[in-house]
Amino acid sequence: MEELLVSKVFLFPKLLPARRFLPLSACLPEDIPSRTADHGPEPPVRKPPKGSSQLNRWSRARAIRSGRRLDGPTFRKMTAPSFPSPPPPPSSSSTSSLNQLDENPQSISDAFQDDGVMAAAKPIYMVSDGTGWTAEHSVNAALGQFENCLVDRICPVNTHLFSGVEDMERLMEVIKQAAKEGALLLYTLADPSMAESAEHACNLWGVPSADILRPTTEAIAAHLGVPPSGIPRGAPGRKAPLTEEYFRRIEAIDFTIKQDDGAQPQNLNRAHIILVGVSRTGKTPLSIYLAQKGYKVANVPIVMGVELPKTLFEINQEKVFGLTINPVVLQSIRKARAKSLGFDSEMRSNYSEMDHVRGELEYANRIFMQNPVWPVIEVTGKAIEETAAVVARIYHDRKQKCLMPRISKRY
């Protein structure tokens, strides 16, 4: 089975110098095109932007953590400092020195400035003998602790995921390449011999590394008093049967899809969780995410002039959760939605107008105040996973009859 490589780039647009990255076989992203040389007078270098508003800073951080490039004109204007035009093409006397630089992996970082305006992308290798889900999500969670550096201080990071690494030969190839690139190696290898070999090879070649899986596995083994199997989840002899929990998740997903956007209100009593909020507060993606965890979720939109279904107030009110959002953020989301639907200025309705947005949120808040049992969750700046964690925690606390305040509360 061929080795699978997934790469993500955490960086700002136009912050990389006009030269080629190191080759990582044929799997790395394509070379970034160089800038066109300008033989005119070089403009002065402007200082990096001092900062941005909390909303824009959050949006930039989310884009970086998800691996997207910030190509929008607003972000480009705010985040991309002006650099002087590159020098004219090198003469024949300097061509040999550039070729030598491309052949020497260790010298690439020397081409970047140390004043904080430009910085070399720090590579992180993630190696797994399975799908790589654990390694990828662990690294993404850890990178969330460095948003200030990634956004404000401009320190780009390249992550490369190597999944399905099941034999020693391919493992050594990855570690050798990490040594050439100066990468950090993080691995989740269930086979103890593979993990030990990776540790010894990294020490031998001077590659900084960490075993993500071993500390947790050893702690559980010590707690249970049973040694781990050391067999990867995707091994041929370890096919998990279709359990009852699996079919419950499938049933929950099917139910949630049918109950989207207020459909079939007569089935609200069958739902575990009911989400209520104005349009574009993330009800549908949050519902699907919770359904994949096994929760049957229904969502009901709040629209001015439209009464909520009566069955919503006849069921157990501890199932209902309200969602609210900052009006400025909601307006920007609705404008993007209207643009994606092809609405021009002449066809634009009051859907994305600030007065209408504020009016809808105030109308929703009055409904929330009339139903103090509903927790009201502020979703501004929260990822779907973060909001889902809050909803699940409150749901289980109430299901287990834990003491919870019976008033609206923002999280």
Q: What pLDDT, on a 0 to 100 scale, did the predictor assign at position 195?
A: 93
Q: What pLDDT, on a 0 to 100 scale, did the predictor assign at position 74?
A: 40
| % of the chain with per-residue pLDDT over 70 | 64
Cβ neighbours of 319 (radius 10 Å) = 22
**CATH code assigned to 244-337+349-399:** 3.40.50.300
Tokens read off for 175: 């570690």
Same fold yes or no, 4-15+49-84+104-224 and 244-337+349-399:
yes
- Of 115, 148, 121, the residue nearest 45 (C-alpha): 115
Q: Is 301's pLDDT higher than 90? A: yes
The mean pLDDT value for 327-348 works out to 80
Tell me the H-state helices in 262-383: 283-292, 311-314, 327-340, 354-370
Q: Which residue would you say has higher pLDDT here, 75 or 337?
A: 337
Q: Is 264's pLDDT higher than 50? A: yes
Name the strand (E) or helix (H) holding 134: helix 133-143
The mean pLDDT value for 190-211 works out to 94
The mean pLDDT value for 324-348 works out to 82
Q: How many CA atoms lie within 13 A of 117 on its CB side?
A: 15
The mean pLDDT value for 293-316 works out to 94
Q: Is 7's pLDDT higher than 70? A: no
Q: What pLDDT, on a 0 to 100 scale, did the predictor assign at position 105?
A: 39
**CATH code assigned to 4-15+49-84+104-224:** 3.40.50
Q: Which residue would you say has higher pLDDT here, 296 or 232?
A: 296
Q: Is 290's pLDDT higher than 80? A: yes
pTM (global) more than 0.85: no
Q: What pLDDT, on a 0 to 100 scale, did the predictor assign at position 401?
A: 66
Q: Which residue would you say has higher pLDDT here, 54 or 353?
A: 353
Do strands 273-277 and 184-188 pair parallel, antiparallel, or not at all (unpaired)? unpaired
Q: What pLDDT, on a 0 to 100 scale, did the predictor assign at position 398?
A: 83
Q: What pLDDT, on a 0 to 100 scale, did the predictor assign at position 307?
A: 93
Q: If you average pLDDT over each of 45-54, 88-97, 327-336, which comes out highest?
A: 327-336
394 within 8 A of 360, measured Cβ to Cβ:
no
Note the pLDDT tens digit of each residue in 112-155: 344 444 467 889 999 999 888 899 989 988 988 887 776 655 67
| Average pLDDT for the chain | 75
Q: What pLDDT, on a 0 to 100 scale, did the predictor assign at position 240?
A: 63
Q: What pLDDT, on a 0 to 100 scale, did the predictor assign at position 91?
A: 43
CA 223 from centre of chain = 32
Q: Where are the domains of the chain?
A: 4-15+49-84+104-224, 244-337+349-399
Q: What pLDDT, on a 0 to 100 scale, did the predictor assign at position 397?
A: 82
Q: What pLDDT, on a 0 to 100 scale, did the predictor assign at position 8?
A: 53
Q: How many CA atoms lie within 13 A of 264 on its CB side?
A: 13
Q: Is 328's pLDDT higher than 80? A: yes
Q: Which residue would you say has higher pLDDT here, 17 or 5?
A: 5
Q: What pLDDT, on a 0 to 100 scale, did the predictor assign at position 120?
A: 74
Note the pLDDT tens digit of each residue in 28-77: 344 434 434 444 455 554 444 444 455 555 556 555 555 554 444 444 44
The mean pLDDT value for 281-291 works out to 95
Q: What pLDDT, on a 0 to 100 scale, did the predictor assign at position 172?
A: 95
Three-class SS state of 123: strand
Name beta bridge partners: 184.
Answer: 124
Name the strand (E) or helix (H) holding 97: helix 92-103
Q: What pLDDT, on a 0 to 100 scale, did the predictor assign at position 100?
A: 40
Q: Which residue would you say has higher pLDDT here, 107 or 122?
A: 122
Note the pLDDT tens digit of each residue in 223-249: 999 988 887 776 666 666 677 888 999
The mean pLDDT value for 257-266 works out to 94
Q: DSSP code of 190?
A: S
Q: Is 8 exposed, middle or buried (0-12, 13-18, 19+ CB in 10 A)?
A: buried
Q: Which residue would you say has higher pLDDT here, 132 or 406?
A: 132
Q: Which residue would you say has higher pLDDT here, 227 or 78?
A: 227
